[in-house]
A = this chain, B = another copy of it.
Amino acid sequence: MLKLEQQLCFPIYALSRQITALYRPLLEKLDLTYPQYLVMLLLWETNKISIKEIGEKLLLDTGTLTPLLKRLEQKKYLTRKRSEEDERIVLIELTSGGLKLKYAAAGIPGALFCALDITEGEMMGLQQKLTGILNTINKNHG
């Protein structure tokens, strides 16, 4: 059982890094890294969201998000402001510059789909299985 070839976890780990590498040249044009792109995906959907909610959706903690969000703030893609109702909460809001990126990013999902060279059915099946495992883990260990 202690053989690399027999592990399920290694392909997941390696594929995650290889896919990030596929995104890299595409995201470079938007001056984004892959985790930064995930944050922008959320903002393009919600416009305004707290750091806590971002962490819950992306399964990332504050030690990762705080500096990442500060870098996105420096690029003028979002703003950081304390909530007036509860000053513990930092609200992240999309800027017009951040919104512009959405249109520049329109081709990225298609480009990635091509690079993976799988059918739409395979993709949906895989996504469902992986999300299922993800939910199992978060139920039992989250």
Q: Give residues in A with beta carbon < 8 Å to B.
A: 1-4, 6-23, 34, 38, 41-42, 44-45, 57-59, 102, 105-106, 108-110, 112, 115-118, 122-123, 126-127, 129-131, 133-134, 136-138, 140-141
Report which of B1, B102, B140 forms a contact with A2, defined as CB distance below 8 A: B102
Please give the count of copies of this chain that the complex contains: 2
B7 touches A34 (CB 8 A): no
User: Which 3 residue pairs are nearest across A and B when measured between Cβ atoms?
Assistant: A16-B16, A11-B130, A1-B109
SS of A interface (majority): helix
Q: Give the chain B neighbours of A127 by CB distance below 8 A.
A: 7-8, 11
Contact of A137 among B9, B18, B45, B133 (CB under 8 A): B18
Known: A2-B41, A7-B41. A15 touches B136 (CB 8 A): no
Given contacts A44-B2, A109-B2, whether A12 and B15 have CB atoms under 8 Å apart is yes
A58-B14, A109-B1, A110-B1 known; A22 vs B141 contact (CB < 8 Å): yes
